[in-house]
Amino acid sequence: MRILIYVFLGLGMFFGLLGNLGVLRFPDIYTRLQASSKCGITSLLSILIASMLIKGITPMSGRILVITLFFLITSPVASHIIGKRAWEEGLIPWRRKKPGKKEN
């Protein structure tokens, strides 16, 4: 049980760090949004699952469950709203240049 808690806490910090690296590294809004939505959700989910495992079945665990469900619903919606705003503003998605084609 204790090893499981350590694994989840470590996964949370690992994904948080890598998600930030992706946000700093990718070239475009949409790709950055991909990195932040996946890794951000996973890092918070791991930490919440670890704290639920620490507390066992108590009233505090129920509250953490409510926070988890709320976050699982709203976080994709928030990234969807940001993506929709960028799409409606007309920002052009980044595309990989083909190696044989001439650039202009």
Partner 1 sequence: MINVFLKWKIVRVILTSLYLVVGWILFTGNLAPFSIFLGFTFSFSVALFTYNIFIEEREVARRALLPRAYLLLIYLGVLIFKIYLASFKMVLTIITGDINPRVVHFRTGLRSEVARVILANSITLTPGTLTLSLDQDHLIVHWLNAKTTHSHYAGKLIKGSFEFWLKKIWI
Partner 2 sequence: MDLNPLVLDIVIFALTGISVISMVRVIIGPTTEDRLIGLNLVVAQIVGIMVVVAVKFNRSIYLDVALVYAILGFVSILAIARYTGGKEVQK
Could you list the residues that contact partner 2 (CB under 8 A)? 1-2, 5-6, 9, 12-13, 16-17, 19-20, 23-24, 29, 32-33, 36, 40-41, 43-44, 47-48, 51, 53-56, 59-60, 63-64, 66-67, 70-71, 74-75, 77-79, 81-82, 85-86, 88-89, 91
How do the residues of the chain divide into helix, strand and coil, expressed in percent and rounded to 5?
A: 80, 0, 20
Q: Which does 7 bind (CB under 5 to 8 A by kind): partner 1, partner 2, none?
A: none
Q: How many chain residues are in contact with partner 1, going by CB under 8 A? A: 38
Q: CA nearest 37: which of 7, 65, 71?
A: 71
- Paired tokens of 96: 């990989």
CA–CA gap between residue 86 and residue 59 (Å, rounded) = 41
